[in-house]
Amino acid sequence: MLTLNNEKYTAPELRQLSSKTYESDWQQSFWTFVKTWLDDKNYVEVKTSGSTGTPKIIQLDKQRMIASAKATGDFFGLKPNDKALLCLPCDYIAGKMMVVRAMVLGLNLYSVEPTGNPLKSVENEGFQFGAMIPLQVLNSLKSHRRQFEHIDKIIIGGGVVDNSLLDKLRTVRNQCFATYGMTETITHVAVKTLNGSQKSPIYQALKNVKFSQDNRNCLIIDAPYLNDSQIITNDIVKLHSKSSFEWLGRFDNVINTGGIKVNPEQIEQKIEPFIDNDFFIAAANDKKLGSKVILIIENEGKIDFNLLKKQFHTVLSKFEMPKQIYILPKFERTETGKIQRKRTLELI
């Protein structure tokens, strides 16, 4: 059973609808997943985003997807007939899981085209739950703030919520959360609160999820209902307890410059207030230091490098300072909009 836009559909009706051909890609993607979910196979094939490597197809067990949906429902207190907004493509796990949650939890799913500004097609609807990427949140706050605030609880994933967006979220009336997870964990296994009195930099685990660290200080996820074995990540964290951590950056991005290890994500957080465009910190070979810190900015115009360097000196240490700054008109990105750092570096 699925309630879609206030209409209830039985499994036979859903099978009939999912067998049709739809004009728009996003609708076809939605119904293709519904058809896959209702078939006789016990798994779903899902494409990873490719943000940290080559995109690949993996198989996820349907029963574990159901368990993930229930864990999300428990964490956010979702109830049958609650209205949920689907504005993410069903080509990837985040969109697929919104559909699964609707079916498993008995939610009333409202599906709209997954554009960069999805609320433009939402008039006076109010929702108890929704999910967006940071770009969608930013655009919604600019042009459809009222509709955005009518989503009681909204999870934000698929990219970093930077300081600029965090500042904007401070004044909204609804509850906003950042999520931690990946395709292999069937979306999020931890959540942190971004605004309100409960705002915190610490991620809290969903029910029955435990965390530990390896000798690199990288996060290890133990979630038996999602995976038979522990999931070892490349995410460096500060572990607060078995059920909470603070994300610091990616191990595979760490730069060893002159024997000092620096974390690009932490540098990015420090200099983000000074740069209006998309950017990232990376490493380049250096005869003296072994590796040096460089800054790559996406921009087609002119940049005052002297001003930037003066501003950087107020927040960065000697080893964190970019030794070179590169300007590129356009970054390489995944289909979901994430910056592909390695492929972008090849353009320099």
Is domain 254-345 annotated with CATH 3.30.300.30? Answer: yes
Lowest mean pLDDT among 36-40, 166-170, 192-196, 338-342: 338-342
pLDDT at residue 241, as a whole number: 98
pLDDT at residue 14, as a whole number: 96
pLDDT (average), residues 70-87: 97
**pLDDT tens for residues 291-328?**
999 999 999 888 899 999 999 999 999 999 999 999 99
pLDDT at residue 295, as a whole number: 97
**pLDDT tens for residues 170-180?**
999 999 999 99
Please work out, in degrees rounded to the nearest 5, the angle formed at the alpha carbon of residue 306 by the alpha carbons of 304 and 311.
Answer: 95
Is domain 2-251 annotated with CATH 1.20.810.10? Answer: no
Amino acid letter for position 198: Q
Side-chain-side CA neighbours of residue 78 (13 Å):
31
Band (51; pLDDT cuts 50, 70, 90): low
**pLDDT tens for residues 153-170?**
999 998 889 888 999 999
pLDDT (average), residues 43-50: 82
pLDDT at residue 52, as a whole number: 54
Rg (CA), the chain: 21
**Distance (Å, whole) CA 271 – CA 110:** 39
Mean pLDDT of the chain: 93
User: 240 - beta bridge partners?
Assistant: none
In this prediction the pTM is: 0.86
pLDDT at residue 50, as a whole number: 59
CA distance to 31, 108, 148, 285, per residue, from 7 (Å): 15, 8, 23, 59
Residue 9 has pLDDT above 60, yes or no: yes
pLDDT at residue 19, as a whole number: 93
Residue 54 has pLDDT above 70, yes or no: no
Residue 191 has pLDDT above 90, yes or no: yes
pLDDT (average), residues 117-138: 91
pLDDT at residue 282, as a whole number: 96
Domain regions of the chain by residue span: 2-251, 254-345
pLDDT at residue 149, as a whole number: 96
pLDDT (average), residues 190-205: 95
pLDDT (average), residues 1-14: 94
pLDDT at residue 56, as a whole number: 81
pLDDT at residue 334, as a whole number: 81
pLDDT at residue 49, as a whole number: 67
Within 8 A by CB and 6+ apart from 210, the residues are 221, 222, 223, 242, 243
pLDDT at residue 338, as a whole number: 81
DSSP letters along 282-340, please?
A: EEEEETTTEEEEEEEEE-SS---HHHHHHHHHTT--TTTS-SEEEEES---B-TTS-B-
